Amino acid sequence: MNLLFWTFFPDEGLVLLVALAGLILILGFREAAMGLLGTVVLFALLGPVIESLVAGLDPFWQFVILAALGLAIIHALILLIIGRDTASHLAALLLHDLIILPFRLLSRLLFGGGVGRRGH
C-alpha cells in the first residue's frame, strides 16, 4: 500500500504530510512522525532528480520503466486486496508459467501437441 500511496500522491500535498507528521509527533508517536517526515523530505529531494534522469532516457527505456511501475502498482493492489501470502503464491505461479511458456511453445512446434496439455 505504501508504494501505491506514494505513486499517486501529488507534490502539492507534501505540506499536509509535514503537518500530519507534526500532529503525530504531538500525540507522542515520535518514530512514526520521524519516518513520515523523512519520507516526505526524501520524496521532495529525489523527485526532481529522478524526473530529470527519466526525461533524458530513450523512449524505449522510458517504456520499460513505465511497464515496471505499472507492474509494481498492480502488485501493490494485489497485496492490498488478497494479502501478502496469497500474493507471493500468485507471483510464484505466474513466474512458473512464464518460465515454462517457451518450452511449451517449442514442444507444440516440434511435436504438434505439447507437454502438459490439460483437459485433452
Q: Greater confidence, 48 or 58? A: 58
First to last CA, the chain: 41
Q: Is the pTM of this model over 0.75?
A: no
Q: How does residue 1 score in pLDDT terms, banded at 50, 70 and 90?
A: very low
Q: Where are the domains of the chain?
A: 2-82, 83-120
Taking the C-alpha atoms of residue 32 and residue 11, their distance in angstroms, rounded to an integer, is: 21
Taking the C-alpha atoms of residue 115 and residue 112, their distance in angstroms, rounded to an integer, is: 10
| Residues ≥6 apart with Cβ < 8 Å to 34 | 21, 25
Q: What is the pLDDT of residues 73-115, one digit of tens each?
A: 888 888 888 888 888 888 899 899 999 999 988 988 888 765 5
- DSSP letters for 21-65: HHHHHHHT-HHHHHHHHHHHHHHHHHHHHHHHHHHTS-HHHHHHH
